Amino acid sequence: MELNICHLYPDILNLYGDRGNIITMKRRLEARGIGVHIDECSIGQPLDIDKYDIFFIGGGQDFEQEVLLRDLAAGKARDIRTAVEENKVFLAICGGYQMLGQYYKTWDGNQLDFIGAINIHTIGAKERMIGNYMYRLTPESSGSIVVGFENHSGKTYLGADVAPLGMVLKGYGNNGEDQTEGARYKNVFATYSHGSLLPKNPVLADFILQTALRYKYGSAEPLSPLDDEIENRAHDYMEERLRKG
């Protein structure tokens, strides 16, 4: 077995160690003897969606998001919409999450029309939502608790056909208003969590890998357990801190 991962815009969208998500997926696959191949695809490079099982998009500020609009419009937006509808697995963080949606109206009134692969939109607020936070994933995404770090001005609102990835226990999440955090649509996992997300949330990491293996190979054996003592300690330390604070 092997999985092919495409890291989209690694040179432009990469905040607060988002790349750590790629490293975690690679390590957790290799530890089980599953092959993994990672390609990077950035501005001006064609995207062959058929080659990949998982697509990763990191976060970026409003400026970086605007820089990518031309490249998306030249073909990648259409390719990404197709890959999402074909049930490919996506993990998208913060700015990358916003970009999968319909549009982002920045706090100073600039409207960025995005990919439209998932039915969400984002409205910028003057006050940023910043801090360590945590949420419980919905049962459809494992039900476990995720700890992370958020820093965004955009408030994201989910359309009727898009489920939240989880419900906020501490912090802001999608918009600081409706307790939702992130989005789950088909095999898209989208979230505001930097930090990075997967190293200290191993249950979610395996859930995403398992989803990709099931997609590719029909049914897949459950992943063999790994020694996650250090990962769980990092997770539990932050969970405890947030519960107390």
**Residues with catalytic roles:** 94, 194
Residue with smallest beta-carbon separation from ligand GLN: 59
Distance between CA 111 and CA 121 in Å, rounded?
11
Q: What is the Cα gyration radius of the chain?
A: 17
Compute the distance between CA of residue 59 and CA of residue 15 in angstroms, rounded to an integer: 6
CB-wise, 116 or 209, nearer to ligand GLN? 116
**Does 28 engage in binding with ligand GLN (CB under 6 A)?**
no
Which of 102, 151, 210, 232 is in the footprint of ligand GLN by CB under 6 A?
A: 151
Shortest distance in whole angstroms from residue 76 CB to ligand GLN: 18
Window 77-106: residues binding ligand GLN (CB under 6 A): 94-95, 98
Question: What is the bridge-based pairing of β-strands 54-57 and 89-93?
Answer: parallel
* Contact region with ligand GLN (CB under 6 A), list: 76-84, 148-156, 159-167, 231-239: 148-156
User: Per CB under 6 A, which of residues 30..69 are in contact with ligand GLN?
Assistant: 59-62, 65
- Identify residues 209-228 at the interface with ligand GLN (CB under 6 A): none
- Interface residues with ligand GLN (CB under 6 A) are 15, 59-62, 65, 94-95, 98, 151-154
